[in-house]
Amino acid sequence: MIVVDTNILVYAHREDSKWHASALSCVKELAQAADPWAIPWSCMHEFVAIVTHPRIYMPPTPLKQTLEQVEAWLESPSLHLLSEFEGYWDTLKDLLQASKVQGAQVHDARIAALVKHHSGSELWTADRDFTRFPGIKTRNPLVMTREKMFRSSDEVS
């Protein structure tokens, strides 16, 4: 199960992002597929906080439009929402000890622990900080792989 981080959601939503088209395509593909995908509730909360924040975006996304976006994602029948449940603390504690993160990076550890605790296959994120967490496979879906670049250039010729 692919888990989507906040930054991918923000880029998919904000048309003024230089990664908007790629991120939107990735999220749409997940939402329309039959395979399960996931968003941690903490990422959903962070998405709302970021896109509506007037110091981050000028103009910020209006709350009504933000809530409609969240509801659109929630309509995907293959979406799973990740939250803490029994045994989560042990997963988080192990990741914190192994990665030695502190301060604001604990939020990333929380997301990584949710991915691991819910047996996510990989975390789609544009944030390289997640590589510090053992056992969490990450991928930036916005970066075209070498294989895709060659396939794209072959299709053009």
pLDDT band at 140 (very low <50, low <70, confident <90, very high): very high
Q: What is the value of pTM for the model shown?
A: 0.89
What is the pLDDT, as a whole number, of residue 107?
94
Write down the domain spans for the chain. Answer: 2-156
Cα distance between residue 110 and residue 42, in whole Å: 9
Give the model confidence (pLDDT) of 38-64 as tens digits. Answer: 999 999 999 999 999 999 999 999 999
As a whole number, mean pLDDT of residues 65-79 equals 97
Position 144 scores a pLDDT of: 66
User: Following CA atoms 17, 68, 115, 105 in sequence, which dihedral angle do they give, to the nearest 10 degrees?
Assistant: 60
Which one-letter amino acid corresponds to residue 56? I
Write the pLDDT tens digit of every residue in 12-45: 999 999 999 999 999 999 999 999 999 999 999 9
3-class DSSP string for 15-70: CCCCCHHHHHHHHHHHHHCCCCEEEEHHHHHHHHHHHCCCCCCCCCCCHHHHHHHH
pLDDT reported for residue 148: 53
Res. 145: pLDDT tops 80: no
Q: Please state, in angstroms and rounded to a whole number, the distance separating the CA atoms of residues 39 and 115.
A: 9
Average model confidence (pLDDT) for the chain?
92
Phi then psi dihedrals of residue 2, to 5 deg: -85, 135
**CATH superfamily of this structure's domain 2-156:** 5'-nuclease (3.40.50.1010)
pLDDT of residue 149: 44
Residue 12: what residue type? A
pLDDT of residue 152: 47
CA distance 14 to 76: 20
Q: What span, in angstroms and rounded, lies between the C-alpha atoms of 109 and 38?
A: 17
